[in-house]
Amino acid sequence: MAVLALLAEQSDSQAGVNRRLAERYPGARFADNSAHKSLPSLESQGLVRRAAAVGERPLDVYEATVKGVELVERWLYDSSAVLPALRDELRARLQHVREPEGLPAMVEAIEAQEQACAGEYVAAQKRLRAAQRQRKQAGDGGWRGVVEIALMRDEAILWGSLALRRQRMREYLEDPAGMAPLEGVDDGG
């Protein structure tokens, strides 16, 4: 749907769609060839088509059809609640870990994820700051900018929170009975 939504905004080549996917969805980890994989299917469903060659425009430019634009509009304003899936690999691996032999390796894997999430937090926070600075300098109070800042804040918060959640999970697994001697106790604040 992301590929179709991008084409509904603006006709583009496969490479252009891939570039915009990376720009607009920096944390989504779309594969480099996402457009290449999605476009044939979207085309066969009549949701996109190849745009007519005009002047020097490359032949592989795609545009959304009327049907495709309508589908994007319905998707955008759909009021039904669709729960995001808690479907990450680490949680699945934890479901199958053979205790106690497997636990040290899992703890190590969780710690690696903590660090990776913290790295994503830093990257997302940098993008947010750059965007805020750019908006401030440009005096941009437009709607698109507001949405972008909201999404960037949300992404940074998600990565930071995930890093902390992973740490909490690791601490719990390392000491499930809470037997660590007198640490992390009430300091009144």
Partner 1 sequence: MMAGDLLRLVGVSKGYARGDQRLHVLRDASLEIAPREIAAVVGSRYEGKSTLLRVAAGLEQPDEGEVWFEQRELTRASGSERAELRSGIAWVHRGGSAVRLLQVIDYVGLPLATGRGRGKREVRELAAAALARTGVSGCARQRWADLSNWERVLVALARGIVARPGLMVIDDLLDGLGPRRTQEASELLASLVEELSCGVLMSVSDIEGALAADSVLTFERGRLKWIAEASDADIIDFPGESRGGRGVTGAG
Contact set with partner 1 (CB under 8 A): 118, 121-122, 125-126, 128-129, 132-133, 136-137, 153, 156-157, 160-161, 163-164, 167, 171, 180, 182-189
| Nearest of 151, 106, 107 to residue 128 by alpha carbon | 151
We find the least distance from the C-beta atom of residue 161 to partner 1, in angstroms, to be: 5
We find the least distance from the C-beta atom of residue 14 to partner 1, in angstroms, to be: 35
H or E stretch covering 64: strand 62-64
Q: Which is nearer to partner 1, 56 or 186 (CB)?
A: 186
Q: Which is nearer to partner 1, 20 or 166 (CB)?
A: 166
We find the least distance from the C-beta atom of residue 9 to partner 1, in angstroms, to be: 26
We find the least distance from the C-beta atom of residue 129 to partner 1, in angstroms, to be: 5
Q: Which is nearer to partner 1, 75 or 172 (CB)?
A: 172
From residue 106, how far is each of 87, 94, 99, 118, 119 by CA, in Å? 17, 7, 10, 18, 20
Beta carbons of 6 and 16 less than 8 angstroms apart: no
- Within 10 angstroms of residue 137's Cβ, the number of other Cβ atoms is 8
* SS3 of residue 48 by DSSP: strand
Q: Which is nearer to partner 1, 30 or 121 (CB)?
A: 121
